[in-house]
Chains A and B, each alone.
Chain A
Amino acid sequence: KQEVTQIPAALSVPEGENLVLNCSFTDSAIYNLQWFRQDPGKGLTSLLLIQSSQREQTSGRLNASLDKSSGRSTLYIAASQPGDSATYLCAVRLRTSPGGANSKLTFGKGITLSVRP
C-alpha cells in the first residue's frame, strides 16, 4: 500500500526566504507525482506534475524534483511571499502493469506554510 508522508506538518518563514518542502513515498513504482496548493476550505490547485521519467519540473518560482529510487520529491519555492501561504500537498499515482497508470492519487497530509511579511 502506497503511503505518502510530508514532514513537517507546518512551517513558518519570513518573507523572501527560499524554502524546500519535502515529500516521501513508500512504493517507488510510481507513474507520476503531482504537487498541489490548497487554500483553507478551497479546492486543490495543480502546481507541477512530474512524470516518473523526469527529474524535475519548473514553473515560475517553483521547482519540483523527483528521486524515484529513494522515494522522495521536493518542492522548492524561491523568494517566498505572503501570498504563498497555503497548504501544499503532494500526491503520487502508481504504475500498473503493463506500463499504465492507476486512476487513484494517493495524497500526503500536506504542509501548511505561513510566510510572514
Chain B
Amino acid sequence: AAGVIQSPRHLIKEKRETATLKCYPIPRHDTVYWYQQGPGQDPQFLISFYEKMQSDKGSIPDRFSAQQFSDYHSELNMSSLELGDSALYFCASSSGQGGTEAFFGQGTRLTVV
C-alpha cells in the first residue's frame, strides 16, 4: 500500500540558509500535518492543512512557512536556519478533517551546521 512520501530523506544546510521539505500524502488523503522531533524528544506539532487551507497551527517559528498544493502535496519552507532547527521532520496524512488515523512518513533528517 502507498505510504506518505517525504523528500529529501536527509538534508545538510548551513546556518542562515533556506531549506524546503516536501511531503506527498497517501492517495485520497486530504489532510497533511507537519511535526518536528528533536533528538530524544517527542514529536511536536507544527502545522496542518485540510483541503489546501491551513487548519491548525502549533509551535511553528515565524521563519517557517508551509502550504498544501492543489494535488494535496505539501511543502515546509524553513528560512534563516539555526543550529537548533536540526531535527527529524515528519509529515503525516489522514482522510477528512481531523479525527481519523494519521499515517506518518519516514521523515526528513535536517542537520544545520
- Residue A98 lies at the interface, judged by CB distance under 8 Å to chain B: no
B48 is contacted by which of A104, A108, A109 (Cβ under 8 Å)?
Answer: A104
Give Cα A89–Cα B48 distance, bound, in whole angstroms. 20
Q: Is the CB of A43 within 8 A of B56?
A: no
Q: Is the CB of B99 within 8 A of A31?
A: yes
Question: Interface readout for A12-55 with B: 1 if CB under 8 Å, 0 if not?
Answer: 00000000000000000001101010000111111001000000
Give Cα A41–Cα B106 distance, bound, in whole angstroms. 9
- Residue B64 lies at the interface, judged by CB distance under 8 Å to chain A: no
A103 is contacted by which of B33, B44, B88, B104 (Cβ under 8 Å)?
Answer: B33
Q: B residues within 8 A CB of A32?
A: 99
B45 is contacted by which of A44, A45, A101, A105 (Cβ under 8 Å)?
Answer: A105
Q: B residues within 8 A CB of A45?
A: 104
17 contacts between A and B (CB under 8 A): A31-B99, A42-B107, A43-B90, A43-B104, A46-B102, A89-B43, A91-B43, A103-B33, A103-B45, A103-B50, A104-B33, A104-B58, A105-B43, A107-B42, A107-B43, A108-B42, A110-B42
Q: Is the CB of B105 within 8 A of A43?
A: yes
Q: How many A-B pairs fall under 8 Å by CB?
A: 65
Q: Is the CB of A100 within 8 A of B99?
A: yes
Chain B: interface secondary structure?
strand
Q: B residues within 8 A CB of A41?
A: 88, 109
Give Cα A106–Cα B88 distance, bound, in whole angstroms. 17
Give Cα A109–Cα B43 distance, bound, in whole angstroms. 8
Give Cα A68–Cα B29 distance, bound, in whole angstroms. 28
A34 is contacted by which of B48, B56, B102, B107 (Cβ under 8 Å)?
Answer: B102
Q: Is the CB of A43 within 8 A of B106?
A: yes
Docked complex: B40-68 residues within 8 A CB-CB of A = 41-45, 48, 50, 55-56, 58
User: Which residue of chain B is the closest to A44 with respect to CB atoms?
Assistant: B104
Give Cα A100–Cα B101 distance, bound, in whole angstroms. 14
- Residue B97 lies at the interface, judged by CB distance under 8 Å to chain A: yes
A74, chain B: closest CB distance, angstroms: 18
Give Cα A89–Cα B92 distance, bound, in whole angstroms. 15
